[in-house]
Structure 1
Amino acid sequence: MSAVSYVAAMHLEGDEQLRLSYTRGDGEDKEHVKQTVQLCHTRPNFGGKRWWMICPFRRVRVGKLYLPPGGDRFASRQAWRLGYQSQRIASRDRPFEALFRIQKKLGCEQGWGNWITRPKGMHHRTFEQRLREFEYLDDLCAVEMMRVVGMLRR
C-alpha cells in the first residue's frame, strides 16, 4: 500500500463517517479498497468535541485504527490482536529496556556498560535522581547477566 485517501462525511449529524480509499498489493494482485468507518464524539469537560472512530469489526470506540503488514482492512488493535511493544519484552529484558530509556532521555549512548552524564541545563538534583535509578537498574542488569551466564555454564 502506498497511500490512503479519505473523505470525512460530516453533513448528517449522528451518521458522521470517514470513507477510506487505498490500494493493496501490486501487479495482478492489486486490489482497490474502499472502507467506511463510522465516527462518534464525546464532549470533554474543557469544551469542544473529541472525535472517535468505531472499529468496523469489533464495534468499539477507538482513537486509532491499524493496518498491519498482511492486513486487508483498517481495524482496532483488539480486532487485529496487536500487543503493545512493552508486552513483547521478556521479563529478563525489562531492566535493560528501562536502563536504555534513561540513557536515551539524557542523550547518552545506549547500551549496558555505558555510563550516563548530566546534560547541560539539567538540575543537579534531577540528575542525581536519574543516576540513582540508573545505578539500581544497572545492578538489576548485572543480576540478569549473571543468571544467564549461570544457565550457560550448566
Structure 2
Amino acid sequence: MDASLRIDLAWMFRTGRAKAGAHLFGSLHWTCGGEPSGSITYSAIMDTPGEERLELTYTRGSGDDREHVRQTVRLCFTRPQYGGKRWWMICPYRHIRVGKLYLPPGGDRFASREAWRLGYLCQRDAARDRPFERLFRLQKKLGCNQGWEAGLRRPKGMWNRTFERHLERYMDLDAECAVEVMAMMGRFGGR
C-alpha cells in the first residue's frame, strides 16, 4: 500500500473537498519522496439525495498506451449511535463500504484494499522479523541507533524508572532476537 495512490473520503470531508448537499470539484495530488507521483481531478456530487458519488478523471500510462479514465464511485452513509452521518465509498469491484480506495502501481482503477489484496506492512513482516521490528521501534522511540545489539541509552529528561521499564523490554526483545538468529543459523547449518 505504500506506493499506492489513496483516496480518503473522511480526509476529503475534513478538508472541505466534499460536503453533504453540495457539488464540489477539484484535484488531488500525490508525492513520493518529494517528487510528484500522481494526480486526478474529481467531482464530489452530493447535492441529489440517493445519487451521491465521486466522479474521478485521470490519465494512466504514457505514449501509445495512454488511457483517459473516468471512474464513478458511489457514496452512501450510515448513522452512528452518537448522531450525524458517516460517509462511505462503495468499492467498484467488491461492492463493500470502505473509507479509502487505492490505485497501486500498475493498477488501472481505484478500488478497495481487499479488491487489490493489499496488506498492511505488519502483515507482510515474516514472523521471524517481528522481534527485530519491535526492538528497532523501541530504539527509535528512545532516539538510539537502530540495530540488533546496538544498545539502549536513557534519553535526557527521562525518569529512571521509565527507562528501567524500557530497558527490561529491550532485554526481552534482545533475547527473542537471539533465539531467531540461532534458529536461522541452524537452518543455514543444516544445508
Name the TM-score, length of structure 1 as normaliser: 0.90
Q: Report the Cα offset of residue 39 of structure 1.
A: 1.1
- Counterpart in the other structure of 2:25: none
> Which one of 72, 77, 97 corresponds to residue 61 of structure 1?
97
> Which one of 20, 29, 49 corresponds to residue 65 of structure 2?
29
The answer to whether 1:8 aligns with 2:44 is yes
* Runs of 5+ consecutive residues of structure 1 not aligned to the other structure: none
Q: Give, as a single letter, the amino acid of the residue that structure 2 aligns with 1:23.
A: T
Q: Report the Cα offset of residue 45 of structure 1.
A: 4.1
Higher RCO (C-alpha under 8 Å, 6+ residues apart): 2
Q: Report the Cα offset of residue 150 of structure 1.
A: 2.1
Q: State whether residues 2 and 23 of structure 1, in contact with CA within 8 Å, keep that contact through their aligned partners in structure 2.
A: no
Deviation track 1:89-139 (CA, whole Å, cap 9, x = no partner) reads: 111111111111111222222111111223334343333222211110100
Q: Distance in 1 between matches of 2:50 and 2:167?
A: 53
Q: Distance in 1 between matches of 2:160 and 2:97?
A: 44
- Structure 1: 4+ residue segments shifted above 6 A: none
Whose strand proportion is higher, 1 or 2? 2
* Runs of 5+ consecutive residues of structure 2 not aligned to the other structure: 1-36
Q: Distance in 1 between matches of 2:155 and 2:101?
A: 38
Name the TM-score, length of structure 2 as normaliser: 0.74
Change (3 A) 1:91 1:12: same
**Percent of aligned pairs with the same residue?**
63
The answer to whether 1:87 aligns with 2:87 is no
> Which one of 119, 124, 146 corresponds to residue 182 of structure 2?
146
The answer to whether 1:97 aligns with 2:122 is no
Deviation track 1:8-55 (CA, whole Å, cap 9, x = no partner) reads: 001012221111111101111111111111112233344433221110
Q: Give, as a single letter, the amino acid of the residue that structure 2 aligns with 1:124.
A: N
Q: State whether residues 65 and 74 of structure 1, in contact with CA within 8 Å, keep that contact through their aligned partners in structure 2.
A: yes
Deviation track 1:46-103 (CA, whole Å, cap 9, x = no partner) reads: 4433221110111111111111111100000111111221121111111111111111
Please report the RMSD computed on the Cα atoms of aligned residues, expressed in angstroms: 1.7
